[in-house]
Amino acid sequence: MFIAGINGPSDRVTYFAGAFPSMCGKTSTAMLKGETIVGDDIAYIRNIGGRARAVNVETGLFGIIQDINPDDDPMIWKILHEENEIIFSNILKTENGRVHWIGKPG
């Protein structure tokens, strides 16, 4: 599930909810600058002053890492190789202490 905004005339943004399958790129797209996906798996919607307001509680970078590579996903690849805190789950840790996932190059 996701909530996305579509840009219209006169700077109008119309939001709608939809359902896309797992691993289709919702989370990666939500992290791109300028995108209007509010929530790609979890979004809280509240009535504030008679208007629907939503917030994505998955801040930061979150998603499925399978097949992430430097050619197709340069932004995510860069983040994965910078000095920062990353929590991996359901991956293989190799003997040299590096992480490995399905589709990871070399």
Q: Which residues are catalytic?
A: 24
Residues in CB range of 102: below 8 A, 6 or more apart: 66, 67
Whether the CB-CB separation of 40 and 56 falls below 8 Å is answered with: yes
Cross-strand pairs, 13: 7
Nearest to residue 37, comparing CAs of 5, 7, 62, 60?
5
**Apex CA 36: angle with CA 34 and CA 38, to 5°?**
130
CA distance 102 to 59: 25
